[in-house]
Amino acid sequence: MTTACSLTINNERLHQRIEELARIGKLGDTGVCRLALSPEDLQGVLLVKGWMEQAGLAARIDAFGNLIGRLEGKDPGKPILMLGSHIDSQPYGGRFDGAIGVLGALEAVQTLIERGIQPEQPIEVVAFCDEEGCRFNKGLFGVRGMTGKLEEGELERQDANGITRREALLAFGGDPSRFEADRYAAGAIGAFLELHIEQGPVLDARQEPLGIVTGISGPLWLTVEMTGFAGHAGSVPMPMRRDALVGTARVITALNQLARSEAGAPTVGTVGALTVFPNSRNIIPEKVTFTIDLRDIDMSRRVERERQLRNVLEEAASECGLTYTVREDTNSEARFCADHIQAVIREEAQELLGYAPHELMSGPFHDSLALSYVCDYAMIFVRCKDGISHNPLEYAAPRDIELGAELLYRTMVRLALGEEV
């Protein structure tokens, strides 16, 4: 579906910024690699910070590595209307994941300023630090930091090169000694709006440019270590082996079957990272470390799948003569968008597009997930080609991005001019 509606935002400026940001950490012809708290991530943050300042925002990097641009409202004491997303990427990522949410938010607020509209409350545009979680194996760091939700030991997590998050954060310009001072007080944030590519195939299949998000699935991230005993691959008889990789393979297969076990359910399960020790062709694997990502919008179903999975782990370890440990990295319940903000988005989308957009849940988590615990939130999805994301082939059409940013702008104006948040 297409629309010939006129835009309020400056679409050329928006696309120029998307393309310029994509050149930082460029991977091949279309991909990007801007790992959280890396030199490339900092270069991108400083670029966006400059654009924020050009737009008239007061911009800063806080103690958690978040980039925050602020526009004062008529009443600085009112709860903040916050917009944004992230610009860090996966190691094999695309140009649009997170980036259109930050740059679309900046474009929306810059348009507000250029049109001479002063909001009732302060508005902040935020590029949150380390949404992806791929470098230190735990995401949503910046948003959880600013809302007081960090867990013990997070700064000591190491990346693949042995660099701790503390070391990377200090090099980035963050400062753990200022964590308490930079946390937002309860009630300081009134509402949060996030624009994001869908990262799934629903809108593309429906040939619709935009969608309204109803809620975010609850993600469970586990790291499992299975330990057996190394031996010569040519001499140890099969019945006498304690092969950690064989046990792991059983768990991986079972996870896939469990996620598919209820027809039509949105349950998903993935093993995305696996390390084998000693990783030699002719040595029986002694230790395997692997990740589990299990998600569902229905928490009772997800809890049941986790119970079944842990039974499989126990059975696989027993059958293969292994021991194992499980570390819980992330465990969040499903979170639903605020009805009253969805209603505003729905009305503005009807005016913008001429029809009511499809409403859908989000399988991936976003910064909105963490913010949902401290304020009302809503999300707008932009169609991405074939549902591809976390891949250099990720693509969102310029017109779809423009429509998403325009809908974000119109929703923001409604809230900024007195719509209750």
Q: Please give the annotated binding residues, written as ranges.
A: 86, 97, 132, 196, 390
- Cis ω before 278 (30° cut-off from 0): yes
Residue at token pair 């708290």: 37
Shortest CA distance to 292 belongs to which of 252, 348, 333?
A: 252
Shortest CA distance to 319 belongs to which of 215, 248, 377?
A: 248
Residue at token pair 């401290």: 374
CA dist., res. 83 & res. 33, Å (int): 24
Distant-in-sequence, close-in-space partners of 391: CB < 8 Å, separation ≥ 6? 31, 92, 93, 94
Per-residue DSSP letters for 178-230?
GHHHHSPPTT-EEEEEEEEE--SSHHHHHT-SEEEEEEEPEEEEEEEEEE-B-
Residues of the binding site for Zn(2+): 86, 97, 132, 196, 390
Report the b/e string of 200-222 with b at 16+ CB within 10 A: bebbbeeebbbbbbbbbbbbbbb
Tell me if 335 sits within 8 A of 372, measured CB to CB.
yes
The SS3 call for residue 81 is strand
Residues forming a β-bridge with 295: 219, 268
- What sign for the dihedral angle of Cα 154, 159, 165, 167? positive
